[in-house]
Amino acid sequence: MNLAKNFIALLSQKKHPDYLSRMPELAMAGILDHCDFLDVQRLRKTCRYLRNFIDDVKPDAKIINMSITLTDGSICLEFQTRRKFHLEYYNDQYIINRITKKKRVLKCQSARQRFFKDIIYILSHQKSSFINFNVALNCSNQQNNSKKFLSILNIILKSRPRPLSTKTLGLRVSDGENILAILSCLEVKNVSILNANGFSTLLDLGTVAELRQWKQAKQIEIRHFLVNGDIFRKCSNLEKAYIQFAELRLEHVLMLRETFLSSPAAKFFHFGFHSFTERHQLIEALGPPNSETSAVKNWFFRIPGSKEGVAVRLLSYSIDMTRITVPNM
């Protein structure tokens, strides 16, 4: 009888075969590749083997969109895979998950320290390209609050083995230094810049315009900032541009028209302006308009050796240039 009890006890203590640890690494990596980021993090907590394997392989997080918003009292992190994640890190030492409504109080670290720890981990798993990567500085004290934040974020982004890439980089910033801190770390196709101060101030893009990322961008959009037209002297890479000039000059118009005539990339440019003192010289430079009203003047220029042309449209406070195809030209 005692022998029977001992045998049953031995059977109950016998471990089942560890099929996970015996699975080929390629097969395990393939399974994780089909899991969402949240599922991977849950699997990581199930056993030491999976934790170590996930930390070693770092399966792609496949994040589509990410937004980081800095305010006076918090940092908001939003990102999307097949699920949406929304975390808010408050200066009062707690985190709120807006999706699950859970609140976590921090004891041994600040909310900002926790944010940077989380963003380092999340981005370490991001291998694919974002569609949108946005950084917004909604601070009342931009100079002090945002400068240190961006410097740390800059270090994190630059520490990666290869740069993160995104189709569109969206920035809500106050000056060119803010732009430089983020744009210099990423591979981008389109750049969208919004004035965090909410009104038209002059934006110094001298250093930014020298970045490789700026020179390779396909679309530039700048809202509620005034810029100097000279930075677009070398814009053969641009397909589309939406810019507000502080002062539009005749040389800018001729330069941009030449860009369309010589660069097959250019498709549509929209340039607003606060002043255009040389407006009266435009007809002399471009010739008589093909059509005009009291508010609008239109010109058309054929591109030599092409079935395309450039349409120039001058309104009261903006000028558009559009590449168009004309049949049977």
**pLDDT value of position 252:** 87
Euclidean distance between CA atoms 65 and 134, whole angstroms: 8
Confidence of residue 74 (pLDDT cuts 50, 70, 90): very high
pLDDT tens string 221-276: 999 999 987 787 767 789 999 999 888 899 989 988 888 888 888 999 999 998 89
**pLDDT value of position 143:** 64
**pLDDT value of position 101:** 87
Average pLDDT over residues 65-72: 96
- Beta partners for residue 272, in sequence order: 244, 318
Q: Which residue has the higher pLDDT, 14 or 159?
A: 159
**pLDDT value of position 81:** 94
- Beta partners for residue 196, in sequence order: none
Q: Are 217 and 188 in contact (CB under 8 A)?
A: yes
| Domains of the chain in sequence order | 20-59 (1.20.1280), 61-227 (no CATH)
Radius of gyration of the chain (CA): 28
Average pLDDT over residues 164-183: 96
- What is 266-314 written as a DSSP string? --EEEEEEEE-TTGGGHHHHH-S-SEE-SS-EEEEEEPTTSSEEEEEEE
**pLDDT value of position 26:** 85
Average pLDDT over residues 285-314: 91
Best CA proximity match to 168, nearest among 220, 119, 102: 220
Asked if pLDDT for residue 132 goes beyond 90, the answer is: yes
pLDDT tens string 179-226: 999 999 999 999 999 999 888 889 999 999 999 999 999 999 999 999
Confidence of residue 303 (pLDDT cuts 50, 70, 90): confident
Q: What is the mean pLDDT of the chain?
A: 88
Confidence of residue 7 (pLDDT cuts 50, 70, 90): very low
**pLDDT value of position 310:** 93
Please give the torsion angle defined by the CA atoms of residues 283, 287, 290 and 295, in that order, rounded to the nearest 10 degrees. Answer: 0
Confidence of residue 18 (pLDDT cuts 50, 70, 90): low
Q: Are 308 and 268 in contact (CB under 8 A)?
A: no
Asked if pLDDT for residue 305 goes beyond 90, the answer is: no
pLDDT tens string 142-153: 667 888 999 999
Determine which of 21-35, 116-130, 182-196, 277-291 has the lowest per-residue pLDDT on average: 21-35
Confidence of residue 3 (pLDDT cuts 50, 70, 90): very low
Q: Are 252 and 232 in contact (CB under 8 A)?
A: yes
pTM of the model: 0.87
**Residue 58 in tokens:** 């770092």
